[in-house]
Structure formats: C-alpha cells, structure tokens
Amino acid sequence: MCNGKGLVVLLLGVILMAVSSSGQGNSSKKVICYQGTWSVYRPGLGKFGVEDIDPFLCTHLIYAFLGIEETGQLRVIDAYLDLEDNSGRGNIKSFNALKLKNPVLKTLVAVGGWNEGSKRFSIVASDPLKRAKFVDDVVRFLQRHGFDGLDLDWEYPGQRHSLENDDRSNYITFLKELKEGLDPFGFMLTAAVGSAQFSAEISYDIPAIVPYLDFFNVMAYDLHGPWDPLVGINAPLYGSTSDTKDLTGRQQQLNVDAIIKYWLEAGAPPEKLVLGVPFYGRTFTLTSAEDNQPGSSHIGKGIAGNYSREPGVLGYNELCELMQQEEWTRKWEPKQQVPYAFRERQWVGYEDTRSLSLKAQYVMDHYLAGIMIWSLESDDFRGTCGQQKYPLLHEIHRVFFGGNTPSGLTAELKEDKIEGFRCSVEVPDGYIRDPYNCSKFYYCSGGNTNNFECPTGLNFDLNTKSCNYSGSVNC
C-alpha cells in the first residue's frame, strides 16, 4: 500500500479521471478488464499476478473465475490461490485491495467461463431452490470479499449440453432473481454473452434480459479459428468478400460490425452494450507455406505460446516477442481491418494497436458503453517489446480519453501546511470535505492527512467521492 506523496499522486490521478467522467460524454466509457487468475502460474516473463495490474487503466476489473455446483453452491476453483484460509495466497484480497489505490475502480467476480461448461448452469437455472441457493451464496461471497458485483459467464444457455431444460426462459428468471438479490446491497450484475446472431438467438431473449443487467459484455472474438475449414482472423471488424459466398448466411454474421448491429436491432440499448475484444490471436498450421492469405487451407492448430502453452492461441505479448526473435511477415487485411502474420507454415490472425484503435473508435461512433478486454495478461504488460507497458490497453485509452487520464485538466496539489482540519486515529479512513471550502477535501489514512483541491470551477462531491461541476454539487 502506498502512503504519503505516493498515495497523493495516485489519488490525484483518480480525481482527474472522475472529473472528466462527469463533464465529457466520451470519457464515461467503460474499460472492463478480465484477469485470468491462472496466469500467475505461467513461466518466466509471462507470469502475471495482481501486482502487475495497473488499477488506473481499467474502470472495472473482473476476477475470473469461480465455478457453480449442481446444488447451486458457489465453488472456489483454486482455494489456495484465491483465499487466505489454510495459509493460502489471498489473491482475492490483493485484487480488491487495488481499490485502495484507485477508490473509483469497480471489481467484480466472474462465475463460469468456457471450461466450466453449460450443464451445471442449466440445472441450477431450472430449479427455484437451487437458484435461491446460488443468489444467497453470491451475496455472501461479494460481501465477505469486498467485490462490487457479479459477472455471470454462462457459456451458453441452450447450448453445449443435452438437457431438455428451457434455458432461454430460465436464464431470464435466473437474472431476475439475481438482480433482486443483489440490488438491496448495491451490487452490480453483468453478463458475458455470446455474440453472433445464429448463436445468440438460441440463448437470449434480449429485450427480456435488458432490465436485469447493468451491461452486457459481448464476446466478439473467436469468430474464426482452427475449427474452421479455412484460415480466418480471430475478430474482424468487418466482413470479407468471401463471406458472401456462404449461402447459410453464417459467415456474414462473424464480424464485429454484424454482431453489434444484431444486438442493437434485437433490443440491446447502446449504453449497456460493451464490445469484447481479444488481446490474443488464433493460430493455424498452413497446408502450404506459399498459400498464406486469409481463406487458405490449413491442417489444424498452430504453435502454442511460451507462456499460455495452448496450441492454436498466441497472446499479444507472446507474438510480439516471437516477432523480435524470428522473421515474420506482417500483413493488413483492408476489408476486415485487422492484421495477420505468417512465418513458413505458421499463421496467426490477431490484434494490434491499429486494429484496436479502430474498434475503440467504432465504440465511440456507435455510442456503445465501452470495451471489454480478454484479458490483461495477454497484453505486453511488461513492455518487453520495446513499447510502453500495456500498449494495447493504452491505445484504447488514447481513443476514449485522449491519453492515460481522460481529462486535459490539471490540478495543483496543495502541499503547504494544512490549516484547520487534521485527520486523527479517531477519524475513519476515507474522504472528508472542507466545511468552509467545497473545492477542498482531505483523504484520511491511518491518522495521516492528505489534502487536495479541485480544479477551478469544480467542487468535491460527497456522493461520488470525486470532483464535479459546481452546479451538480450540493455545497
């Protein structure tokens, strides 16, 4: 934990971000970042722990994952990592302690994920007693560990299992009861949802689930991969010319633009719609090294990364390091607005700063809620490829906020002798506004006093714990 001037500088950065959010439409965009917590076990420079998270680059952090039992109980998947019990590492405590550095950061815990499957969700969602058990477990868990909400990651209702339950309808009831259970405590409820129309319409009655979710994280990636008969890019922004040759119409649905338009037309409000983007690429082994364009034939998955160690997948950090060590040919697909690269028979369709800049601008142009990232540990978080740390995440920030802090405002930190108010051990930690000057405020931490002053024309808002425009503050 930081103290003294370090805490002051960190808190000042948060204040400026919050000021901008209240005054500029674009700076209210959400940047929602998942952390795959198993990445702490990765080797070498790929090891990623809570200490590697920059709490000022995301508006929401999501801890992935917890599991669900057929009884409706919440399941901690890696108790040694997640909890402090029995000399555990207490990862969840460290994760939520990031809010001590950035008090406006929101943290959620995700339940589910691809590996958790769909069957247990289906069983619980179909049974009112099991739903009630799950809601109760979730509320207790969020309260105990200090999360701000739940991210439900059921992949996917009505799919991947042979049960005859009416998942599409039960999902609505499940969300409704979760919302009713979480609301009294001010907890958020979000969901990671499937993307393309032919899949999403099986799982979701979109207008019916809108009232219960604070926002939707639309997983607009894994649109192409080694499961396809031909080589394709992971998350194209737009469709390709060859897509129109598919008489089923499915290929035309497998791009970000088609996905977002479907969700909007189906009834999802743009202010709740979050575009999910991948910080990894999908790899293939080409049939022939000479046939290396999108749409070429392949024989299956490509190489695994040094850190993720999963054939068919390369994190951006793994790929950029490979490109420093080996001769890769990089190309830009102009219609789909995404890059791809190849070396001999290895081929990858991925994201870079250019493609993510275009996706972030797409969010701006369509007035969407923001961007969701899967996942933090796949960015070049150490800056080992010669750029700054987190180059992909910083590029999204540049488009949304014009830089790392949303506001161009500057504020002077008053470090002169504090006159009047001083914190003491009897004063609870937190923010206190000056009783005589609404633009001045203090942050108490263990009896230490840190004092601040909002930029000209702004007052400290006790409701939002941030500087806000004077007309919006009850002074």
Q: Is 155 a catalytic residue?
A: yes
Does the structure show a pLDDT above 70 at 409?
no
Does the structure show a pLDDT above 70 at 416?
no
The mean per-residue pLDDT over the stretch 177-200 comes to: 98
Q: How confident is the model at residue 247 (pLDDT cuts 50, 70, 90)?
A: low
The mean per-residue pLDDT over the stretch 111-138 comes to: 98
The mean per-residue pLDDT over the stretch 279-288 comes to: 98
Q: What is the pLDDT of residue 472?
A: 74
Q: How confident is the model at residue 4 (pLDDT cuts 50, 70, 90)?
A: very low
pLDDT tens digits along 93-109? 999 999 999 989 999 99
Distance CA 260, CA 269 (A): 11
The sign of the dihedral angle between the CA atoms of 160, 163, 169, 171 is negative
The mean per-residue pLDDT over the stretch 210-225 comes to: 98
**Could you confirm whether domain 25-280+352-401 is CATH 3.20.20.80?**
yes
Q: What is the pLDDT of residue 435?
A: 79
pTM over 0.85: no
Q: What is the pLDDT of residue 387?
A: 73
Query: Any idea which residue has 């102009």 for tokens?
Result: 334
Domain ranges, ordered by start, for the chain: 1-24+411-475, 25-280+352-401
Q: What is the pLDDT of residue 9?
A: 39
Q: How confident is the model at residue 454 (pLDDT cuts 50, 70, 90)?
A: confident
Buried b (16+ CB within 10 A) or exposed e, 368-407: bbbbbbbbbbbbbbeeebeeeebbbbbbbbebbbeebbbb
Contact assessment for residue 66 and residue 77, using Cβ atoms and an 8 Å cutoff: yes
Greater model confidence, 198 or 242: 198
Q: What is the pLDDT of residue 26?
A: 45
Q: What is the pLDDT of residue 427?
A: 65
Q: Any idea which of 61-75, 134-148, 176-190, 457-471 has the lowest mean pLDDT?
A: 457-471
Q: Which of 116, 155, 321, 351 is catalytic?
A: 155
The mean per-residue pLDDT over the stretch 362-372 comes to: 98
Q: How confident is the model at residue 322 (pLDDT cuts 50, 70, 90)?
A: very high
Fold of 1-24+411-475: Antimicrobial Protein, Tachycitin; Chain A (2.170.140)
Please choose, from the candidates 301, 315, 305, the residue with its C-alpha nearest in 3D space to the C-alpha of residue 345.
Answer: 301
Distance CA 400, CA 466 (A): 20
Q: Write phi, then psi, for 96 (nearest 5 degrees).
A: -75, -20
